[in-house]
Chains A and B, each alone.
Chain A
Amino acid sequence: MSRELSIAGLEDLATQVRRDIVRMVHGCQSGHPGGSLGCTDFLVALYFKIMNHDTSFSMEGVNEDLFFLSNGHISPLLYAVLARSGYFDPAELSTFRKINSRLQGHPTTHEGLPGIRMSSGSLGQGLSVAIGAAITKKRRNETSLVFSLHGDGELQEGQIWEAALFAPAKKIDNLVVTIDVNGQQIDGSTNDVLSLGDLRAKWMAFGWEVIELEGNNMKEIVEALTFAKSRTFRGKPIVILMHTNMGHGVSFMTGSHKWHGIAPNDEQLNMALSELSSTLSDY
C-alpha cells in the first residue's frame, strides 16, 4: 500500500474518490452521495495510510487490520476506496447499482466482491460484527486491529447500545469505532428527528475512550487515527466522534440532508465535477 503518501497525496486521492462517487451515483441515478462525500477523507486516510491490509483479499483477514462499514448506504465511497486501493479494477465502479453487478446498492458478501466481509444496510448491526471479529483476533493473540464506521443517525438503533455496553465490559481494546457525526438523516437533522444528546458523555459513560476530530481535514484525520492506534491494547475500546459535513467537496450538496439519498442530474454532475477538478484518472 501507498503508506508513504503525503497529506497532499491523500487529498488528491480523496478528490478522485469524490469524483468516483458522484459519477457512480449519477450513472445509475440512485444512491447516497451526501454521507459518502462527507466520509471520503476519513476512509481514504484509513485505507491508504493507517490500516495494514492486503489487497489480495482473504475473507479471514488473519493478521490484517479489518474495516467494517455499518452504515452500508455509503457504499459508493467504500467501493471507490476499495477499487482505488487495488482490490478490483476501478472500471467496475461503472456497474454500481446496475443489474448483474457485484457492486450492489448496499455492500454484500453475496456477490464475492473482494474487500467486503459483511453485508450491511440494515442499520445498527456493524458494531456487533466488529466486536466479534475483534474477539477472534484477541483469541489468536493478533496485534492487528478492527475499525468500523457508523452514521450518527444509526445510533438511534438499540443494537448499537447493546454493543456499546458490551465492548468496554469485556475489554475489547483492539477496536477503533468511528461515528460520522454530520447531524443529518433522511427526514432532517438528527436534532429534529431524534436528538442524540451529548454523544461524548454517553460513550464515556459506557466506558469508551473518546476521541473527537474534524473529519474533513486530512492532516487532523491522519493525526487522530495515528493517536487512536497508539491507544489500543490499553484495556478500553476507542470511539472517534468524527465531525463531517454531509456532501463535503461539492458546494451545493454540503450540509443538507436533502442529498442523503438522491442522485445529481447531468447539469449537477458537471457542476460537481468542476468543483472536484483535479483527477488522477477517472474510470
Chain B
Amino acid sequence: MTKYTFTEKKDTRSGFGAGLVEAARRNDKVVALCADLIGSLKMEAFIKEFPGRFTQVGIAEANMMGIAAGMSIGGEIPFTGTFANFSTGRVYDQIRQSIAYSGKNVKICASHAGLTLGEDGATHQILEDIGMMKMLPGMTVINPCDYNQTKAATIAIADFQGPVYLRFGRPVVPIFTGEDQVFEIGKAWMVNEGADVSIFATGHLVWEAIQAAEQLEEMGIKAEVVNIHTIKPLDELAVLKSVAKTRCVVSAEEHNRIGGLGDSIAQLLIKQDPVPQEFVATDDTFGESGKPAELMEKYGLNAASIVKAAQRAMQRK
C-alpha cells in the first residue's frame, strides 16, 4: 500500500484561483465572472493579471449565469464564481435553459460546498448540488480532492468543450496529490489497490478514505481506495473493475446520500454487478453551524465513519 503523507494544507478554492490564472495564460478565450465574492473564490490574481477579462456582476447570480451563457456564444470560455449554493439551487433554471439545454461552454465554479463551510450554517451549506447538477443532461460534474488536483482540474476544464460544474470547498485540507498532475476528466484515480473492500471517495473525503484504509490495514483488511473526482461522467470501468475484486463498496462524499456519488455507483452496480454498498454521506438532512471538523464528526463524514462503513459492507458480502 502506498503511504500518502502531506507537508502542507491548503484550501481547494485557492487551487481554483491558481488554476484560473494558469488557464487564462494558456487560453485568451478564458474570462471570469463573479457575484460579489472575489475574495472567497480567490479570483484576485486573475483580476490583477487580466482586468479586461473579468466581469463583476454584483449580487445577482441569475444574471451572472445568463451573461456567462451570452459570452460563450461568441466563443469565450466563461468561468462563473460564487458559493455552491448560489451556483446551483438559486439559479437552477438559468443553468438548465441558458447553459445546459443550450449546450453552452460555461464553467460553473462553486466554492464553499458542503458542511465544511462551517459556522455560516445550513443556508449556505449546500448538500444537494452534485445531485442537481448531475441530473442535467450534458453537464459534467467534477469534485477534486485537494489543492493541486483542483488547480489541475480548473486548467483541464478550460480545454474541455461543454458545460462543467466544478465543486470545491472552503477549509484547508492536506495536499497529497502531485503538483504537475495531468487531470483527466472522467478518469478515476487509483489511490491504493486492495482486495477486501472498494472505497470510492470524492472531494476531500479522499484523504479521509486514505486514513481509513490505513486503519483498516492494521485490522488486516485491505481496502482499495479510488478517487472519483469526476462524478459525471462516471468512470464505470474503474468502478466495475474494483468491485470485481473486492465484492463490496463504500461510497464517501460530503453530500446528501440521495443524489450524490453513492447513488451514481449504486445505479451502475444494480444493473451490472450487484454487491453490498454502504453510504458515507449526510442522511437526507440540512447542516448546521459549527467548526468543519466538528460537523464532519457529527454527520459521520470522517475516516472513522469510513472504517465502520467498510466493516459493515464486508459483513454483508
Is the Cβ of B98 less than 8 Å from the Cβ of A136? no
Which one of A120, A121, A128 lies within 8 Å of B65 (CB-CB)? A128
CB distance from A121 to the nearest CB of B (A): 7
Beta-carbon contact of B97 and A121 below 8 Å: yes
Query: Pick the contact of B66 from A60, A62, A131, A137 — CB < 8 Å?
Result: A131
Task: Kindly state whether residue A101 has any CB partner on chain B within 8 Å.
Answer: no
Minimum CB–CB distance for B57 against chain A, Å: 7
Q: How many Å from the CB of B279 to the closest CB on chain A?
A: 34
Least CB distance from A16 to B in Å reads: 29
Given A125-B97, A132-B71, are A158 and B66 also a contact pair (CB < 8 Å)? no
B33 (CB) vs chain A CBs: closest residue: A132
Contacting residues, chain A, for B67 (C-beta < 8 A): 128-129, 131-132, 135, 163, 166
A165 close to B60 (CB less than 8 A): yes
Contact A109 B102 (CB under 8 A): yes
Tell which of B31, B63, B72, B73 touches A162, judged by Cβ atoms closer than 8 Å: B63
Q: Do most interface residues of chain B lie in helix, strand or loop, or is the interface mixed?
A: helix
Q: Which of A108-157 contact B (CB under 8 A)?
A: 108-110, 117-122, 124-137, 139-140
Give 5 pairs: A residue, B residue, CB < 8 Å, sorted on A: A60-B74, A61-B73, A124-B62, A128-B65, A133-B70
Q: Is the CB of A159 closer than 8 A to any CB of chain B?
A: yes
Complex interface: chain B residues within 8 A of A196 (CB): none
B102 adjacent to A133 (CB under 8 Å): no
A262 within 8 A of B: no
Q: Which of A35-90 contact B (CB under 8 A)?
A: 59-62, 66, 68
Given A136-B76, A166-B57, A166-B60, A159 and B66 contact (CB-CB distance below 8 Å): yes
Interface residue total, chain A, C-beta cutoff 8 A: 38
Given A109-B102, A120-B97, A128 and B62 touching (CB < 8 A)? yes
Give chain A residues whose Cβ lies under 8 Å from the Cβ of B63. Answer: 128, 131, 159, 162-163, 166
**A122 contact set on B, CB distance < 8 A:** 93, 96-97
- Whether A108 pairs with B102 at a CB distance below 8 angstroms is yes
Given A125-B97, A128-B67; A136-B73 close (CB under 8 Å): yes
Q: Give the contacting residue for B73; candidates A118, A124, A125; CB below 8 A.
A: A118
Q: Report the Cα distance A119→B94, complex, angstroms.
A: 11
How many chain B residues touch A (Cβ–Cβ < 8 Å)?
Answer: 31
CA distance A60 to B98 in the complex (A): 16
Whether a CB of chain A sits under 8 angstroms from the CB of B289 is no
In the bound assembly, the distance between CA atoms of A139 and B53 in angstroms comes to 8
Q: Are A60 and B75 in contact (CB under 8 A)?
A: yes
Given contact pairs A159-B62, A159-B63, A132 touches B69 in the complex (Cβ within 8 A): yes
Chain B residues closer than 8 Å to A131, beta-carbon distance = 63, 66-67, 70
Q: Is B160 an interface residue (CB 8 A)?
A: no
Q: Within the assembled complex, what's the spacing in Å between the Cα atoms of A225 and B186?
A: 49
- B252, CB-defined interface residue at 8 Å: no
Partner of A132, one of B58, B73, B101: B73
* CB-based contact B102/A118 at 8 Å: yes
A136, B93: Cβ atoms closer than 8 Å? no
Within 8 A of A (CB), among B93-146: 93-94, 96-98, 101-103
A166 to B53, CA, bound (A): 17
Once A119-B98, A125-B98 are accepted as A-B contacts, the answer to whether A158 and B71 lie under 8 Å apart by CB is no
B211: interface (CB < 8 Å): no
Shortest CB-to-CB span from A6 to chain B, Å, is 33
- A124: nearest chain-B partner, CB-CB: B62
Shortest Cβ distance from B51 into chain A, in angstroms?
12
Q: Give 6 closest A-B pairs by Cβ, nearest first.
A: A132-B70, A128-B66, A162-B60, A132-B67, A162-B63, A136-B74
A133 contacts B58, CB within 8 Å?
Answer: no
Q: Which residue of A is nearest B103, CB measured?
A: A109
Min C-beta distance of A223 to chain B, whole Å: 28
The yes or no answer to B177 lying at the interface (CB within 8 A) is no
Neighbouring A residues of B68 by C-beta, 8 Å:
132
